[in-house]
Amino acid sequence: MVRGPRVEPSFADLSEPEYAHLVGLAADAVRRITETLAEHPAFGVPDGGPKPGDVDDEGSRRADALRRVRAGRAAQALLADVVAQGATGNAADAVWLGASLADLGESTGSTRQAARKRWPDLGRIYRIRRWVSGHAADLITVLRMVDDQSTGYRAPAGSADALDAALRALAGALLDVLRDHDSGTVLDPQTGRPARWRRLADAVDVRLRTVAELATATTPEADTALAAARGVLAHYDAATAEPAAERAEPA
């Protein structure tokens, strides 16, 4: 794939009304957060007492302004955290939708390496998404096999309730996976966020894994299902592990 030159996003590309609208949105958010924090006792400031030349209510107004200064600094830090969390969530969503780290780097005017350094967890998401999307039909088959043999398993002593709960969770996860598969969209209709591959990965890595770890087969059919599950999990672990080249890459 040939990529064009990276272009750093710029507010200069916006019209004056567009930029003014965004400034207004940001200013309104800052004002409301600052006012809320300024009213909280934790953001009070020491009473500096009267100053030479104070008139009327100047002293109390000064204290109010100083509280807003302190609250404004806290609002700035809060907004920076929220924006960073939002960017991380958007980046993760993009990867669940098939974007690579190179795509993320290009979208931010940087490089794949810069994107990996900024969002170190996304490489694993990319590997998970690529593998489960490429093996979806086989994974659903194995999930069904294990679910269909739910009466053919025995739990270790003292773990019967845990196995029952794990089988119920697997059955619920399988229903979600099948619903996603038939929905015609990869998004969760309630949240609007990518769900199909995330839920399939969870069904395999969490639900199927728990059953495979707890269950002992009591029938040949159940033994076949568990063997298939353990084979799937071994492939999943190998395919989603961090490559040695990335582990060796300097931070």
Tell whether the model's pLDDT for residue 161 goes beyond 90.
yes
What are the pLDDT digits (tens) for 26-43? 999 999 999 999 999 888
What are the pLDDT digits (tens) for 198-209? 999 999 999 999
Name the more confident of 95 and 4: 95
pLDDT for res 237: 97
**Backbone φ, ψ for residue 194 (5° rounding):** -60, 135
**Backbone φ, ψ for residue 233 (5° rounding):** -65, -35
CA separation for the pair 222, 152 (Å, rounded) = 5
Tell whether the model's pLDDT for residue 244 goes beyond 80.
no
How many Cβ atoms are within 10 Å of 54's Cβ, its own excluded?
13
Query: Could you tell me the residue ranges of all domains in the chain?
Result: 12-96, 126-244
Split at pLDDT 50, 70, 90, the class of 246 is low
* Amino acid code (one letter) for 57: D
Tell whether the model's pLDDT for residue 1 goes beyond 50.
no
CA dihedral 230, 235, 236, 237 (to 10 degrees): 90
Name the more confident of 3 and 193: 193
Split at pLDDT 50, 70, 90, the class of 44 is confident
CA separation for the pair 251, 244 (Å, rounded) = 14
Q: Is 247 exposed, middle or buried (0-12, 13-18, 19+ CB in 10 A)?
A: exposed
Residues 94 and 69 sit within 8 Å (Cβ to Cβ): no
Chain length of the chain: 251
What are the pLDDT digits (tens) for 103-123? 998 888 888 889 989 999 999
